Amino acid sequence: MKALIINCSPVRSGATAEIARIAAEALAERYETRTVCIDDYHFAFCRGCRSCHATAQCVLQDDVTALMAEFAAADVILCVAPSYWADIPGQFKAFIDRCTPWCNTHEPHAAIPRGKRGYAIALRTGPGMHECERIIGSIEHFYGHLEIERSGHLGLTSVEFREMVEARRPEILAFCREI
């Protein structure tokens, strides 16, 4: 079984990357794991042309297909996303917008193989859980339209820098045991 872990922050060495690293280490006991960063991929913004509603393909050709190939190859997908202005980082939102060819609200649409489980971890610096819930909602909305089963989530508040993640290791490991 394969697990894909996505650092949805453009920061490769920050708190999000550290959470992704701890999760990957834990999941490696039971899964073949692969970790990627949203910033590994270069893609343009969705133009909103809706061509894909008729063709199930995007008029733009770039790294979106490479990242979707990672989704297709995985049995389990874990998105780890920080709050940027109370929502997912723009890079990750831009990717989701470009996944419209795979969105199940129009026919024809492209599809990744069924039976995948999707998990989400949200983190933020502030103390309240509402922002984490919003981020989890964005990720799970995306999973729903790709027909990835929404299988669990974790919100981590009061996290800003990489060094602050170690204290949260027990929560992360407990969450990973359920994956």
User: Which residues lie near ligand FMN (CB under 6 A)?
Assistant: 9, 11, 14-17, 82-86, 123-126, 131, 159-160
Give least dist CB 159 to ligand FMN, A. 5
Tokens of 174: 């407990």
Which residues make Cβ contacts (< 8 Å) with residue 102, sequence separation at least 6?
A: 68, 109, 110, 111, 112, 145, 146
**Looking at beta carbons only, is 148 or 156 nearer to ligand FMN?**
156
Q: Residue number with the shortest CB distance to ligand FMN?
A: 14
Give least dist CB 95 to ligand FMN, A. 15
**Looking at beta carbons only, is 130 or 141 nearer to ligand FMN?**
130
Give least dist CB 17 to ligand FMN, A. 6
Give least dist CB 109 to ligand FMN, A. 31
Provide the residue type at 133 as one letter.
E
DSSP 31: S
**Looking at beta carbons only, is 19 or 26 nearer to ligand FMN?**
19
Return d(Cα 171, Cα 68) in angstroms, integer.
29
**Looking at beta carbons only, is 126 or 144 nearer to ligand FMN?**
126
Neighbours of 127 (CB within 10 A): 8
**Looking at beta carbons only, is 126 or 152 nearer to ligand FMN?**
126
Residue from 5, 29, 31 nearest 19 by CA:
5
**Cβ-contact 144, 101 below 8 angstroms:** no
Give least dist CB 16 to ligand FMN, A. 3
State the first-to-last Cα distance of the chain, in angstroms, to the nearest integer. Answer: 12
